[in-house]
Amino acid sequence: MKKIAFILILTPVLSFGQISKQDSVWLPLKFMIGTWNGTSDGQPGKGKYERSYAFALNKKFIEVRNKSIYPPSKDKPKGEVHEDHGFISYDRVRKTFVLRQFHTEGFVNQYKIESISPDGKTIVFISEGIENIPAGFRAKETYLITSENEFAEVFELAEPDKEFELYSKAILKRVSN
């Protein structure tokens, strides 16, 4: 009788420690959840980043909000503010993550995960399509996780029939979970 009472008391406690099937889908990307700030360098110049990743719509998606601020330059005397919003989803049919980004310039990028390294520290997204840009352009986003509170994002573009070239590299540090 004591064993049964002990099991009945312990069962609710143990169930809290288990991960739901929905939560387990997000394990490779869970490190992203939170608010991040950082700096970048690349073709648009040196910039400051503000970014957040949050679960949305009953944890069916990760919502991404990004703002990049570039100071005035010779080419852009007023500087530049770039914003994009996006969603990461898990496509159960293809068994892959899909990232859709909507940019203030009118571009809409759709990526799918190309690879996740065995240690989970390198995640590569390759574009499947880009709206409002000449046909044949491709984009690649690589996330290099250096710790639970820091990662680098390498963004590369490829013109039609050309190899990827670095557009920007950002280093982001966690501000909050």
Write the pLDDT tens digit of every residue in 7-22.
Answer: 434 344 444 445 566 6
Tokens of 58: 């009953």
Sequence-separated (6 or more) residues with CB below 8 Å from residue 84: 64, 66, 101, 102, 103, 104
pLDDT per position as a tens digit, 49-105: 999 999 999 999 999 999 999 999 888 899 999 999 999 999 999 999 999 999 999
Domain tally, the chain: 1
- Domain membership of residue 5 (yes or no) is no
**C-alpha distance from residue 35 to each of 43, 58, 99, 123, 173 (Å):** 25, 19, 18, 19, 8
Work out the mean pLDDT of the chain and round it to a whole number. Answer: 90
**115: how many CB neighbours lie within 10 A of its CB?**
11
Angle ∠(18,24,26) on CA atoms, nearest 5: 140
The reported pLDDT for the residue numbered 12 is 45
We report the CATH number of the domain holding residue 142 as: 2.40.128.20
- Domain membership of residue 12 (yes or no) is no
- Domain membership of residue 6 (yes or no) is no
- Domain membership of residue 156 (yes or no) is yes
- The range of the structural domain enclosing residue 62 comes to 20-176
Task: Indicate left, alpha or beta for 94 from its phi (over 0: left) and psi (-120 to 50: alpha).
Answer: alpha
- Domain membership of residue 129 (yes or no) is yes
This prediction has a pTM of: 0.85
The reported pLDDT for the residue numbered 101 is 98
- Domain membership of residue 2 (yes or no) is no
Tokens of 159: 């013109």
3-state secondary structure of 46: coil
d(CA 59, CA 70): 33
Q: Are 15 and 155 in contact (CB under 8 A)?
A: no
